[in-house]
Amino acid sequence: MKKLFLLVLTFTSIINFTNAQWQQSGLLGQVVSCFAISGTNIFAGTGNGVFLSTDTGTSWTAVNNGLTTTDGHIASLAVSGNNIFAGTDGNGVFLSTNNGGSWTAVNNGLITFPFIYSFAVSGTNIFAGTSNSGIFLSTSNGTSWTAVNNGLPVINHAISISVVSFAVSGTNIFAGTSGGVFLSTNNGGSWSAVNNGLPITDFVNSLAVSGTNIFAGGEGPFLSTDSGASWAADTIGKGNAIPNVLAICGTNIFTGTDFAGVFLSSQ
């Protein structure tokens, strides 16, 4: 299966991008897979571990003390209070409680240290989406994890999809997978497919929430205005550009695509 590295950011402040210009801001030569923001600290997950910037990206410092390997991809990052979680390619989950000063493996309950595609934070609950091992939940800041896969498709007693993205909207948790979108309304206790209007085999690379709107990036992109009950093709991007990354800032929706650059849509 092709390994996709995803970033889904929802900005809560409204910034005027009308005449914005993009400029290079460090980490040249690195494959940057994900970001996480904690206060004024910006963390970047790369193919060579985690980097930290405390000056809005002007400079970056490697913060890999305690990571099992720094030559494997950091595929996902998440912030929950003072805790920073890093999901890796095959080494499970690591936790830092001191802004990246050190990392500790927190894999109790995970199955064979899977590829951690994505995280979601809902209150004190941390969800981890994996490659072909489903979804895991921690209610103890990563001290232990429990599989929460009720309702996800199973073949030969194994989860048959990868969970590559999440979005949280109130009490609804959406999981973007290699087999469409699934919804949990009970903190992962059960999941239901919500794919009406989506292609059956759609690989949902990214999800983003804006008010009552849910955006799904994949072969679409697609928009749901009814909590995933139905989806319709949206107009982000052009032609066959596949939106791998979705970011929302105020009323602006940005999407990063395969080889077609960045597109902007205003709601």
Instruction: Write the pLDDT tens digit of every residue in 193-245.
Output: 999 988 766 688 888 887 788 888 776 678 899 988 899 887 554 444 555 55
17 part of a folded domain: no
Residues 63 and 182 in one domain: no
6 part of a folded domain: no
197 part of a folded domain: yes
182 part of a folded domain: yes
Q: Dihedral of the CA atoms 13, 17, 20, 23 (nearest 10)?
A: 40
Of 69, 87, 106, the position where a domain reaches its end is 106
- Weakest mean pLDDT among 5-19, 120-134, 156-170, 177-191: 5-19
Residues 146 and 214 in one domain: yes
**Angle at Cα 149 formed by Cα 49 and Cα 232, nearest 5°?**
85
Q: Dihedral of the CA atoms 84, 86, 91, 93 (nearest 10)?
A: 40
Residues 102 and 146 in one domain: no
Residues 195 and 177 in one domain: yes
Residues 58 and 113 in one domain: no
pLDDT at position 10 over 90: no
Instruction: Write the pLDDT tens digit of every residue in 56-77.
Output: 788 899 999 998 766 568 899 9
21 part of a folded domain: no
Can you give the CATH number for the domain in which 198 is found?
2.130.10.10
Residues 34 and 152 in one domain: no
Residues 195 and 176 in one domain: yes
Residues 131 and 100 in one domain: no
- Provide the number of structural domains found in the chain: 2
Residues 199 and 154 in one domain: yes
Residues 72 and 177 in one domain: no
State the DSSP code for 21. Answer: -
Exposed e or buried b for every residue in 66-104, given b needs 16+ CB within 10 A?
ebeeeebbbbbbbbbeebbbbbbbebbbbbbeeebeebe
Q: What whole-number distance in Å separates Cα of residue 128 and Cα of residue 114?
A: 10
141 part of a folded domain: yes
> In the structure, what pLDDT confidence band is assigned to residue 4 with cuts at 50, 70 and 90?
very low
Residues 238 and 113 in one domain: yes
Q: What whole-number distance in Å separates Cα of residue 208 and Cα of residue 43?
A: 20
Q: What whole-number distance in Å separates Cα of residue 156 and Cα of residue 194?
A: 23
82 part of a folded domain: no
90 part of a folded domain: no
Residues 132 and 196 in one domain: yes
Kindly state the percentage of the chain with pLDDT values over 90.
Answer: 37
Domain that holds residue 176: 109-242
